Amino acid sequence: MNLIILNIHIVVTTLYLLNYLIKSGLFLLGNRDTFRIYRKRTMWVEMVFPLLFIGTGIYNLVKVGGFGNVGTWFHIKLTLVLLSIPIGIIGMKKEKKPLVILSILILVYVYLIAWTKNPMIF
């Protein structure tokens, strides 16, 4: 069961990241109409997927014994994810491309940390 939940977590976070990259790419390219259409059609992804990856993430965290039983990489990952959310939201709402780019870089870095379990991926 743990492996199933872990795989659901990985698939959902990967799909969410891909969705965010597509949406951010449309935003950065300046095609506002296409961006708005894509955002409207994928609004359900932005509501359902975070619930799924937060739920499966909490489940996996509880199964390993909580925050005390994970490495430093996890704490860095969680902090950066929580930081990237407001950066991305503010960037898109205020149409600040540097903030959107920063949120993309943070999320890709977090994704790499999650796979390597090492914040020193470079």
Q: What is the pLDDT of residues 35-90, one digit of tens each?
A: 889 999 999 988 899 899 889 989 988 988 888 878 889 999 999 999 998 999 89
pLDDT of the residue at 1: 57
* C-alpha dist (Å) from residue 68 to 56, 71, 114: 18, 8, 17
**Averaged over 23-38, what is the pLDDT?**
91
- Residues with Cβ within 8 Å of 103's Cβ and at least 6 positions away in sequence, in order, are 24, 84, 85, 87, 88, 91
Task: Give the residue among 12, 4, 46 at the shortest CA–CA distance from 114.
Answer: 12
pLDDT digits (tens, 9 = 90+) for 40-50: 999 998 889 98
* Interval 82-107 mean pLDDT: 93
pTM of the model: 0.85
Cα–Cα dist 102/94, whole Å: 14
DSSP annotation string for 71-111: -HHHHHHHHHHHHHHHHHHHHHHTT-HHHHHHHHHHHHHHH
CA–CA separation, 11 vs 30, rounded Å? 29
